[in-house]
Amino acid sequence: MNSAAISPVDPTPTDWRGEVMQRRIKKRYAAERRFKTLGIGSVLLSASFLAFLLFVMVGNGLRGFTQTELPLDLDFPALTGGASASQFEGPNAEANLKSLGVQEIVDAGIDIQYGENSELFSAGAWKAVRSAILQNPNIVEQKTTLTLPVESEIDVAYKSDGSKAAEQIVAKFDNELSTGFNWNFLSNSDATDPMQVGIWGALKGSLITMIITLLMAFPIGVLAALYLEEYAPKNRITDLIEVSINNLAAVPSIIFGLLGLAVFLNIFGLPRSAALVGGLTLALMTMPVIVISGRNAVKSVPPSIREAALGIGASPIQVVFHHVLPLALPGILTGTIIGMARALGETAPLLMIGMRAFIATPPNGVTDPATVLPVQIFLWSDEVNRGFVEKTSAAIIVLLLFLLTMNALAIYLRNRFETRW
């Protein structure tokens, strides 16, 4: 049978070199180039979002680590009525300083140099004087010039654009104003005045919360991963456990906050705003992440290890705890650190259990009212005072640095200890 006769295809051969075909190929190649450009464009666009975000945060935030300062001449012998340096040394120094009334002295000094009601300095400026005296008591016996933090609006105006009144003051004192590192930001807690706020309280709250989360989630997660991967029989309960874990890993974090509110606060009666409740809530959230990564790590240990151990007489428990677990540990740790990093950046569930209170003193225990770094960022972002913008961004820089360190540690652990079988 002649196949050409019944074929619907035009039997004349295609003229590949003809103009029509050449034009068509050109068109197809152009489409290819367009598609490729689109691809690289979207990769670069996504990356530039990240770059822009970091640029904005760092640009705003670096200013938050500095403060604007103005020199103040303090004639201590005249202001204090002749206090001696020896009073402010040794164990009684704090009490003596209290009775001296540093705040009034500084206020008087400001009135003398800059006139009354000048409102140039931060309300916390006297604290800087107090710590200067504690550091070097000799200054109370002489005339001294100290550089002290200025008031928040002037600070904003000096660093960028501020209100008109503040800009005039900046123009007036332009030669005397200087910029110094804001140590208070690292050592203070929340305050109403942006010149006096610090992140130490929130950082300590985060630390305590994370320790509780780790203590709860890590052992439970690892044990559950070992059970599911090594011992679990194929039955209903095992299926139910697996479904629960996969489901919990996908539940929105705010739901865990509702659980914490309903169970830990209302049923168990644990204190509101406490790091304990926050840690427990985040532990429930982190546990599935640890289980899932732990199972993958346990799965990657080759069966030959188990068979060898069983072969020389180890019991199933000994096989797992003496051989499989140590080999899987780097993988488990990597997953744990990633889960902890996620918990460290979490805000919504903690708002539900009341960790959004104004906390001016760092927590000293697991049941003290506490706040954490992301919640502190959220609270500051709500403040109207413009001085808080740079503080919020500075706190974000600190948070991102912590997350970066944790992720870098996870990558290091993975590369350094994980065995490829």
Partner 1 sequence: MNTTTLLILVIGLGLLGWVVGRAKAARLVAASSSKGSVHSLPNYHGWYVALWGVVPAILFLSIWNIVSPALITDAALTSPAAEALPKDGFTRGSILAEARSIANGDQTKAFNPLSTSMVEPYQAATSYYQTIGMVAALLLVFACGAFAWLKIKPELRARTKIERVTMMTLLLASLIAIVTTIGIFVSLIFESARFFSMVSPIDFLFGTEWNPKAVAGPRGESGFGAIPLFWGTVFIGAIIAMIVAIPLGLMSAIYLTQYAPPTFRAWMKPILEVLAGVPTVVYGYFAALTVAPALRDFAVSIGISNASSESALAAGVVMGIMIIPFVSSMADDSIAAVPSAMRDGSLAMGATKSETIKKVLIPAALPGVVGGVLLAVSRAIGETMIVVMAAGLAANMTANPFSSVTTVTTQIVQLLTGDQEFDSPKTLAAFALGLVLFIVTLLLNLIALRVVKKYREAYE
Residue with tokens 């666009």: 45
| Contacts (CB under 8 A) with partner 1, residues 41-70 | 41-43, 45-47, 49-50, 53, 56-57, 60
Residue 18 interacting with partner 1 (CB under 8 A): no
Cβ 417 vs Cβ 332: under 8 Å: no
Beta-bridge partner residues of 164 = none
Stretch that binds partner 1, among 88-96, 121-129, 173-181, 396-404 (CB under 8 A): 396-404
Cβ-based nearer residue to partner 1, 65 or 227: 227
Cβ-based nearer residue to partner 1, 101 or 369: 369
Residue 111's Cα: distance from chain center in Å? Answer: 41
Stretch that binds partner 1, among 84-92, 174-182, 203-211, 249-257 (CB under 8 A): 249-257
Residue 252 interacting with partner 1 (CB under 8 A): yes
Stretch that binds partner 1, among 117-125, 144-152, 287-295, 302-310 (CB under 8 A): 287-295
Contact with partner 1 (CB under 8 A) among 407, 413, 414, 418: 407
Residue 231 interacting with partner 1 (CB under 8 A): yes
Contact with partner 1 (CB under 8 A) among 139, 169, 284, 319: 284
Cβ neighbours for 197, distance < 8 A, ≥ 6 positions apart? 184, 185, 188, 189, 190, 191, 380, 388, 391
End-to-end CA distance of the chain: 60
Contact with partner 1 (CB under 8 A) among 250, 303, 311, 312: 250
The mark string for 310-339 relative to partner 1 (x by CB under 8 A, - otherwise) is: -----xxx---x------------------
* The pair of three-digit structure tokens given for residue 340, joined into one six-digit string: 């902890």
Residue 409 interacting with partner 1 (CB under 8 A): no
Q: Which region, left, alpha or beta, applies to residue 313 given φ > 0 means left and ψ of -120 to 50 means alpha?
A: left
Give the C-alpha separation, 125 to 296, whole Å. Answer: 55
Cβ-based nearer residue to partner 1, 80 or 392: 392
| Contacts (CB under 8 A) with partner 1, residues 340-359 | 341-342, 344-348, 351-352, 356
Residue 211 interacting with partner 1 (CB under 8 A): no
Residue 82 interacting with partner 1 (CB under 8 A): no
Cβ neighbours for 12, distance < 8 A, ≥ 6 positions apart? none
Burial per residue of 26-44, b for 16 or more beta-carbon CB atoms within 10 angstroms, e otherwise: eeeeeeeeeeeeeeeeeee
Rounded least distance, CB 209 to partner 1, Å? 14
Cβ neighbours for 297, distance < 8 A, ≥ 6 positions apart? 225, 328, 329, 330, 331, 332, 334, 335
